[in-house]
């Protein structure tokens, strides 16, 4: 299939998906790019995914707010203007800080992020989530939830800046 140029303006944005307290707008699914995916993620204080890993790279650029980022067993608070790259297979999680925040997310080629987000939005209502159902959906798309510290990293150190 041939990839065609496209432009997505704010008036063209699809409805934001509600995914575990985070509002996710799909700007470019891999069905349109034939490769990567781009979303805009916005959340209130404390919202964000549990520690998890998957087989695609991911990159975030913090637009607003402060994000508590855990990556490979290390935690750091990152501010607006910060770029974060998470290689495939790396355990990571984030939480939006005091005033919430927003960040575009780029998922690497071969990823299923937008499929995961769409399925979670459709199957998991707003409010306290049905954890077994969430884990089942994530596993269907190759996302593994990490219940403990990353065994490859000793301790839970703070990321160096």
Mapped onto helix, strand or coil, the DSSP state of residue 50 is coil
Q: Which CATH architecture has domain 10-144?
A: Sandwich (2.60)
Per-residue pLDDT tens digits for 130-142:
999 999 999 999 9
Mapped onto helix, strand or coil, the DSSP state of residue 27 is strand
Per-residue pLDDT tens digits for 98-157:
999 999 999 999 899 999 999 999 999 988 889 999 999 999 999 999 866 544 433 333
Q: Which of 84, 47, 56, 17 is nearest to 141 (CA)?
A: 56
Task: Estimate the share of the chain in helix, then strand, then coil, as percent rounded to the nearest 5.
Answer: 15, 35, 45
The pLDDT of 47-51, averaged and rounded, is: 94
Rounded to two decimals, the pTM is: 0.88
Query: Measured between alpha carbons, how far is 99 from 105 in angstroms, rounded to an integer?
Result: 19
- What is the signed CA dihedral for 153, 157, 159, 160, rounded to 10 degrees? -110
The pLDDT of 26-47, averaged and rounded, is: 96
Could you tell me which residues come within 8 angstroms of residue 114 by beta carbon, excluding any fewer than 6 positions away?
A: 26, 29, 30, 37, 39, 107
| Domains in the chain: boundaries | 10-144
HEC-encoded secondary structure of 65-86: EEEEEEECCEEEEEECCCEEEE
pLDDT band, very low/low/confident/very high, at 161 (cuts 50, 70, 90): very low
Average of per-residue pLDDT values in the chain: 90
Query: Measured between alpha carbons, how far is 58 from 68 in angstroms, rounded to an integer?
Result: 16
Q: What is the pLDDT of residue 2?
A: 80
Residue 76 contacts residue 159 (beta carbons within 8 Å): yes
Q: What is the pLDDT of residue 127?
A: 87
């Amino acid at each position: 299939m041939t990839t065609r140029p496209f432009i997505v303006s704010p008036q063209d944005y699809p409805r934001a998906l509600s995914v575990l307290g985070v509002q996710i707008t799909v700007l470019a699914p891999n069905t349109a790019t034939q490769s990567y995916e781009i979303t805009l993620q916005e959340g209130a204080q404390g919202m964000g995914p549990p520690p998890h890993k998957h087989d695609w790279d991911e990159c975030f650029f913090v637009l607003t707010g402060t994000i508590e980022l855990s990556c490979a067993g290390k935690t750091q608070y990152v501010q607006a203007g910060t770029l974060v790259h998470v290689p495939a297979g790396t355990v990571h999680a984030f939480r939006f800080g005091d005033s919430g925040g927003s960040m575009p997310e780029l998922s690497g080629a071969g990823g299923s992020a937008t499929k995961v987000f769409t399925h979670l939005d459709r199957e998991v209502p707003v409010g306290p989530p049905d954890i077994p159902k969430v884990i089942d959906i994530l596993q269907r798309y190759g996302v593994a939830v990490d219940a403990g510290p990353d065994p490859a990293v000793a301790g839970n150190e703070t990321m160096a800046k």
